[in-house]
Copies of this chain bind each other. A is one copy, B any other.
Amino acid sequence: MTDQLIKGFASTSGDDYQLNTVSFIRGAAITYPEVEIASRRLDGTMFRYTYRDAYRRIQQLANALTTLGIKPGDRVGVMEWNTHRYWELYQAISGIGAVLLQVNLRISGDDKIYVVNHSKPVLMVVNESLLPLIEPIADRLTTVKGYIVITDNAMDQVSTRLNPVCSYEDMLAVEKPVYDWPMIDETSAYAACYTTGTTGKPKGVYYSHRCIYLHTITMAMTLSMSNRDVILQIVPMFHCHGWGLFFSACAIGAKLVFPGMYTAEKLDGLVDLMISEKVTVTAGAPAIFLPMLHYLRSLPDKPKFNNLRMLSGATEPPLAMMKGFSEFGADVVHVYGATETTPLATVNLPKLSMADWPEENRWDFRKRQGLTLCGLEIKIVDAERNELPRDGESAGEILIRGPWITRSYYNDTRNEGAFMDGYWRSGDAGYIDRNGYLKVSDRFKDIIKSGGEWISSIDLENAIMAHPAVIEAAVAGIEHPKWQERPLALVVIRKDMKGSITQSDILGFISPKFAKWQLPDKVLFVDEIPKTSVGKFSKKDVRAKYKDFYRES
């Protein structure tokens, strides 16, 4: 599609009717008033209500925010676990035309201060259990005029030095459960999320009503979500609005389950909820799903899920994990996206035409990033910005554009280079095959450029990590006097097998899957691999430490 915008013949349609977030919950309250929302309290007990009751509380909340003086365009920061109250805040804050600022609980105090002062909210809503995260920095939040505390306790039992402060429930209790929603220009921001880049300060993405509306119904359509589904909100609601799963639930009248607080170290509660509430759709990442699978396997009575789809993002799902869940009746669906893509850009759906493929072929395809969502455009470009064919071979940088793809970062000097011709530059390298599946081969900056060809560091790492003696492996491109770069492998060997594994063992193990020139010139056995704050391999550190390795040898 060209960038040329043309105007045709005038329509007679209701084109001025704006796409607003509030239409989802308002519709659900009318068409699915009886459907349940289950929310786990911090003490482990369950709170349950219905879309009908929730909509009454959301209207009370809208009145309460208005009473506090929150106006259209104002930002309201939220620090909360995955609860029904966070969900109520999403509906009411955006419903009155204000913006919900998602404050990531896991970033440093300095980054929290940066995000809040960059977004300039007038109000912060904080769960009582998270007061220790906000109180030490409250003095430095320059625009915040007051605080609301989410608690099941009476306010006089809450000890806090935040001021002025009131309780979420006290505030709702005095308000009427009816609110006359305005119609909001759909290009207005409904919520904001800041990226957690590995370099520099977080960057602000301000999602419009139009953006989340189209993402919501396209997501529900693509995943065949229906009112027969039960949706568990695992992705943190402070991270890219929990991938918007709870909005799709409203749009199709599905039961919603909120797990409250959970930690990656103790995930048995999530699995127990999945079993007891008969969950059919959830979303997360291998870092969460792997320990859940271990817990599942430890159960004396093996559960059998019914049509459970587990959307898995962040990294390529390990094949063993996908196969493991399939034994329990769960389908791991790989999805691809980022904060800038709201986040769904591709979803790995199997095709009817694959039914008679050999099983391993089908698994190989299920690991790919998947099919482009209806409504988006993804193209692969070379270094000169030329579009490459979708032939399963031509690899280049992945560019994405469409109604829910970010066009700029809010008030930021780093916009140049991040966007191109209306497309967002993903920073990932990959290709699209003739079946339409996107395959990400590497982060663009981690691709190894060797003698004019590319070598995928991720493919090499995954192949080496499949060796039974290997705990983990990182491969990086190191400067080379003749070939520009050559791969170097860092490998951590299991304690009980240290010393018994050689470079030839590793290279021999992976050589059937690679051309000879793609194999690492050297395998270094190390005790650990440098990692970033979120646990990913720090290729930057690896490259820095070994930058003269091939020059010297």
> What residues make up the interface of A, taking CB atoms closer than 8 Å to B?
1-20, 22-24, 26-27, 30-35, 72-75, 97-99, 180-190, 204-211, 214, 217-218, 220-222, 224-228, 251-252, 342, 349, 351-353, 371-372, 374-377, 390, 401-410, 422, 432, 434-436
A4, A15, A31 — most chain B CB neighbours (10 Å): A31
Q: Which 10 A-B pairs have the closest CB atoms?
A: A8-B188, A11-B208, A13-B211, A31-B436, A221-B221, A11-B189, A13-B208, A15-B187, A9-B73, A7-B185
When the two chains form their complex, are residues A217 and B75 in contact, meaning their CB atoms are under 8 A apart? no
Contacts of A184 in B (CB 8 A): 5-8
Contacts of A408 in B (CB 8 A): 12
The quantity of this chain's copies bound in the complex is 2
User: Which of chain B's residues has its CB closest to A423's CB?
Assistant: B14
The one of B24, B33, B374 that contacts A27, using a Cβ cutoff of 8 Å? B374
* Docked pose: A97 CA to B1 CA in angstroms: 13
Contacts of A375 in B (CB 8 A): 19, 23, 27, 217
Main secondary structure of the interface of A (DSSP, over half): loop
Contacts of A99 in B (CB 8 A): 8-9
When the two chains form their complex, are residues B403 and A8 in contact, meaning their CB atoms are under 8 A apart? no
* Docked pose: A222 CA to B8 CA in angstroms: 30
> Provided the pairs A3-B183, A11-B188, A14-B405 are in contact, do residues A252 and B221 lie with their beta carbons within 8 angstroms?
yes
A73, A204, A403 — most chain B CB neighbours (10 Å): A403
When the two chains form their complex, are residues B73 and A207 in contact, meaning their CB atoms are under 8 A apart? no
When the two chains form their complex, are residues A97 and B6 in contact, meaning their CB atoms are under 8 A apart? yes
* Docked pose: A210 CA to B17 CA in angstroms: 11
Contacts of A206 in B (CB 8 A): 9-13
The one of B26, B183, B410, B435 that contacts A2, using a Cβ cutoff of 8 Å? B183
The one of B181, B372, B407 that contacts A31, using a Cβ cutoff of 8 Å? B372
* Docked pose: A182 CA to B7 CA in angstroms: 10
* Docked pose: A35 CA to B220 CA in angstroms: 22
When the two chains form their complex, are residues A205 and B12 in contact, meaning their CB atoms are under 8 A apart? yes
When the two chains form their complex, are residues B182 and A374 in contact, meaning their CB atoms are under 8 A apart? no
* Docked pose: A432 CA to B31 CA in angstroms: 10
Contacts of A371 in B (CB 8 A): 31
Q: How far is the CB of A375 from chain B (nearest CB, A)?
A: 6
Contacts of A207 in B (CB 8 A): 11-13
When the two chains form their complex, are residues A403 and B189 in contact, meaning their CB atoms are under 8 A apart? no
* Docked pose: A217 CA to B181 CA in angstroms: 25
